[in-house]
Amino acid sequence: MEFLAVLLILVLGAVVAVWLYIANQGDASFKFIVDQRTDFTLKALTKDTAVFSTTVPFVNNGTQDGTLMDVFPRHFLPCEQFDAVDTDTRLTLDSANRTDGYWEANIVPKGTGGSIILTVKFTAKSGDIIAALKNMVDMPIDIIYQVVARSPWYLAKTRLIMTADEIHKALAAGQQTVAR
């Protein structure tokens, strides 16, 4: 009986030790820092399209390395709210700029990070993008990311707002640059 009690205490002690080890080890923890993003700037302009981009930093401030399995943008511009443009959004890792819209799974060591370039392309349904964007509204964009690390995979999202004011300013600045 005494032997069994000692054995039970040993097993319980081992379980507690493993639990403490895991709890202390922690996990990766990602954050897209949208309030530190750059202003949207005009990257390209044609008669019927305008392309804007911003850079958004991210960090793994957890205690373990983590993998960003997938990261993609989701814009919210329903036709009920604004029907003058078709919208396309995509993003890429700043340090490995891809143009195909594919996110390559990427290990982010603990305590490090990087940044993404988020690109938004508006195409005027009328054929004139300057006129189409005149009454543009604020547009929320979610950055959705899938994480694989020490714990089960999960999806998370961070929202930023591309404001109409910002679009107009970027458009005006871009047009001035083109005019020069």
Partner 1 sequence: MTEQVLELKPVRTRILTAKDNIVDVIEQYAKDDIGPNDVVSVAESVVAITQGRMVRPEELNPSFLARVLCRFVPQKGSLSSIYGMQAAMDAEGKWRVAWAMLIGMLGKVVGRSGLFYELAGEQAALIDDVTGTMPPFDKYIVYGPADPSGVAEAIKQRLGCYGAAVADVNDLKRAAVLGVTQGLNPKEVARILIDNPFGNASQKTPIVIIKNYGLAVQKAAE
Applying CB under 8 A, which residues contact partner 1?
Answer: 18, 21-22, 25, 64-65, 67, 69-70, 102, 104-107, 148-153
Choose between 30 and 52: whose C-beta lies nearer to partner 1.
30
Return the closest-CA partner of residue 120 out of 129, 112, 111. Answer: 129
**Nearer CB in complex with partner 1: 70/94:** 70
What is the nearest approach in angstroms of partner 1 to the Cβ of residue 154?
A: 11
Q: Least distance to partner 1 from the beta carbon of 95, Å?
A: 15
Side chain identity at residue 51, one-letter code: V
Q: Is 113:36 a contact under the CB 8 Å cutoff?
A: no
Question: Residue written as tokens 């707002």?
Answer: 161
Closest to 34 measured CA to CA, from 53, 67, 62, 58: 58
Could you give the CA distance from residue 168 to residue 139 in angstroms, rounded to a whole number?
A: 13
Rounded CA-CA distance 141/40 in Å is 13
Is residue 50 exposed (0-12), middle (13-18) or buried (19+ Cβ within 10 Å)? buried
Q: How far is the CB of 25 from partner 1 (least distance, A)?
A: 6
Comparison of 76 and 102: residue with beta carbon closer to partner 1: 102
- Based on CB atoms, which residue is closest to partner 1, 14 or 161? 14
Q: How far is the CB of 22 from partner 1 (least distance, A)?
A: 5
Give whichever of 87 and 106 is closer to partner 1, judged by the CB atom: 106
Quote the least distance from Cβ 65 to partner 1, whole Å. 5
